[in-house]
A and B are shown apart, each in its own frame.
Chain A
Amino acid sequence: MLPKIFFGYFAVVMVVLSLLIVTRKNPVHSVLWMLALFFHIAGLYLFLNAEFLAAVQVILYAGAILVLFLFVVMMLNLKEEVMGERFGKEWPVGISIGAFILVLFFFTINKFSQGPTGQYTIERIKAETHTKAIGSVLYTEFLLPFEIASLILLIAIVGAIVLAKKTK
């Protein structure tokens, strides 16, 4: 029962926080709410027995990507941003697409069925620790995706410098 209450709390609060993020006028406030959101996502990962993912969620999303967001937001001219309209003119289109997806989810949600149980049960992850379990799968079975990740990171470095650096 108790884990279900926590799950309900996380689910509701995450939706509320997401709404707060998109409705704030001041983008820096949105970023702060997003920080709270990332912590709740990390909490949800803990309740899925994925402590490594929870830590990575905070280190990468809250600690790295959100700082980047903050820098970008601070680069904007906030004065104009805050004075302007809260939503663009296209907001009815956005809402209707969102509502359509929601209805779609509503009709398909009971068609979901649980897939076969994998070899990693709660007990096994408890015994082995989540980090080890991830490591021993990621660096053996998923070797190729892992190496491709390094190439993607390389592209990210090159892209960042090409975009932001002035040509001399």
Chain B
Amino acid sequence: MNIFGFSVPAGYEFIINLVILLIKIGIVVGITMLHVLYATYFERKVIGHMQIRLGPMRTGFHGFLQPVADGLKLFFKEDIIPAQADRTVFKIAPVIFVFAALSSLAVVPFFDGFVIANVNIALLYVLAMSSLGAYGVIMAGWASNSKYSFLGGLRSSAQVISYEVALGLSLVGVMLMAGSLNLSEIVSAQQQHWYGMFLFPQCIGYFVFMVSAFAETNRTPFDLPEAESELVAGYFVEYSGMRFALYYAGEYIGMIVMSSIAVLCYWGGWTLPPFLLKALPFLAVVPGIVWFLLKVYFHIFLYYWVRATVPRYRYDQLMGLGWKVMIPLALANIVVTSVVRYIVP
């Protein structure tokens, strides 16, 4: 084995590989955490400007140090565990939530060949981890032993499981087109077509996926579980300090993961459509990670945009939308895609 010109004596390959792996995971987790920090800043900035306000301005240039200040504040905040709470479950719930969100990053490829674990069932793994996140929510609601938390946790888990069906079904269209569950292979399958993105043939699937992703990550217009005006903060009303920060971070990591999956499955990941490259060949110089990040940033911006535009759904409307609109749409998409795929292979 050879690394940067140095030959590694036999028997040490495992250690070297482990170190490389740890560095990779460190980079991915570190950069994601940085993105989480600044996603909160840009959320406040973007929504501020959409509402003709300035957003945070005081800490640093145009409030650029605001997330650091917020983080430090949360870090030194007192951690309160309600006297009536189930202490063990109360403590473990936020860790489950963050664990589920961070573990999903293991299978996300960021550019050609850069992925922590190149597994065959990557898409299913992401679905499995997103269903694990529901436990963080429902357990927090139950363990807090408060009415607001309990109701918030119940509502949220019912919402998450309803939209999870639609999320899974909407991805079947992509699986049909790509014939694989491996995210890197899904990206390269999109390059086989001149349009280079499943976004065009799978526009219904993409729509269902995005709506479900919004609901899965409990974002507006589906932020019923934490509906500030009704349930104060829903399932995590009793959480404070670092535990609250874990829920906050988990939500943003979930947004980043869902945006990445949307980009990889529908927007061609780090690649550009072949017709665009043919027209503008100089774009090939730009490394793939730039395109990937730009597409992910667009989706995160979409989250903010929708939040600033659309009012919150009522709970019955939310469940009705999930079961009566999204699931039939996803099923219809599967039938149409498979029939078209049979006629035009």
Contacts and interface: CB of A to CB of B under 8 A. Distances in A.
Interface residues of A, number: 22
B121 A55 contact: yes
B87 to A, nearest CB: 12
Contact of A130 (B86, B88, B120): B120
Nearest to A58: B128
A32 B89 contact: yes
B308 interface: no
A47 to B, nearest CB: 14
A131 B125 CA distance: 13
A74 B164 contact: no
Interface stretch (A61-69, A85-93, A96-104, A146-154): A61-69
Nearest to B92: A32
Interface in A89-131: 129-131
Contacts of A56: 124
Given A28-B89, A35-B135, A62-B132, A51 B161 contact: no
Interface in B133-191: 134-135, 138-139, 142, 154, 157, 161, 164, 168, 180-181
Contacts of B180: 129
Contact of A28 (B86, B134, B157): B86
A131 B128 contact: no
B131 interface: yes
Nearest to A51: B121
Nearest to B138: A70
B19 interface: no
Given A28-B86, A64-B131, A55 B138 contact: no
A7 interface: no
B124 A55 contact: yes
B142 A59 contact: no
A26 B120 CA distance: 38
A55 B161 contact: no
Query: Which of A58, A59, A62, A129 has most B Cβ within 10 Å?
Result: A59
Contacts of A52: 121, 124
Interface string A11-36: 00000000000000010110010010
Nearest to B128: A58
B195 to A, nearest CB: 26
Contacts of A29: 88-89
Query: Which of A29, A35, A63 has most B Cβ within 10 Å?
Result: A63
Nearest to B134: A67
Nearest to A53: B121
15 contacts: A26-B86, A28-B139, A32-B139, A35-B135, A52-B124, A55-B124, A55-B125, A58-B132, A59-B124, A63-B164, A67-B131, A67-B138, A67-B157, A74-B154, A131-B121
The 10 closest A-B pairs by CB, nearest first: A63-B131, A55-B124, A58-B128, A129-B120, A55-B121, A59-B128, A51-B121, A55-B128, A59-B127, A67-B161
Interface of B: 86, 88-89, 92, 119-121, 124-125, 127-128, 131-132, 134-135, 138-139, 142, 154, 157, 161, 164, 168, 180-181
Given A35-B135, A67-B134, A74-B154, 11 more contacts: A32-B92, A32-B135, A55-B127, A58-B132, A59-B127, A59-B131, A63-B132, A64-B131, A67-B138, A67-B157, A67-B161
